[in-house]
Amino acid sequence: MTRIYKGVVALAVLGAIAVGASAVAGAASSSGSSGKGGASSSQGSAARPADPATLSHGPGETLLTDGTADKVKQAALDKVPGATVIRVETDSDGSPYEAHLQKADGSEVTVKVDKSFNATAVDDGFGGHR
């Protein structure tokens, strides 16, 4: 009797693990990783753009987190005073670096920064990797 009981308990535990893993995998795949395009909200009838701070960097780009990041941030803020830096990263579209900012009016811009840490361009929006 003890052997059967242990077998039933073990089967129940394995079943619970499988159900839990399935739920986690389902939640992960339904939220997905939306990349640059972002996911739109299902609230309301009009689609709203995704929060820029939650978007991932573009293909071939890497987030900057070291001293380079500080230099790119400073160059971007010098070019767009009063803005808030959302993130800085390498750029796969012409410049070595780019900074994504939110201006005081709420609009987003992308500042291109050269290897000497000079801001060379300010593009409206969050970049489209054309």
The predicted-structure confidence for 57-96, as pLDDT tens digits, reads as follows 555 567 888 899 999 999 999 999 999 999 898 887 788 9
Q: Over 80: is that where the pLDDT of 106 sits?
A: yes
Distances (CA, A) of 110 to 2, 11, 17, 125, 129: 67, 55, 45, 6, 11
Q: CATH classification of 52-124, choosing from 2.60.120.10, 3.90.850.10, 3.30.505.20, 3.30.2290.10?
A: 3.30.505.20
Which pLDDT belongs to residue 15?
67
The phi and psi torsions of 31 (rounded to 5 degrees) equal -80, -35
Instruction: Specify the higher pLDDT residue, 86 or 6.
Output: 86
Rounded to an integer, the average pLDDT of 23-43 is 47
Per the prediction, the chain carries an average pLDDT of 73
Domain ranges of the chain: 1-32, 52-124
Which pLDDT belongs to residue 18?
66
Q: Over 80: is that where the pLDDT of 32 sits?
A: no
Q: Over 50: is that where the pLDDT of 40 sits?
A: no
Instruction: Specify the higher pLDDT residue, 112 or 47.
Output: 112
Q: In what order do the strands lie in the sheet with 119-124?
A: 84-90, 97-102, 108-113, 119-124
Q: Over 90: is that where the pLDDT of 129 sits?
A: no
Q: Which of 57, 22, 62 is nearest to 37 (CA)?
A: 57
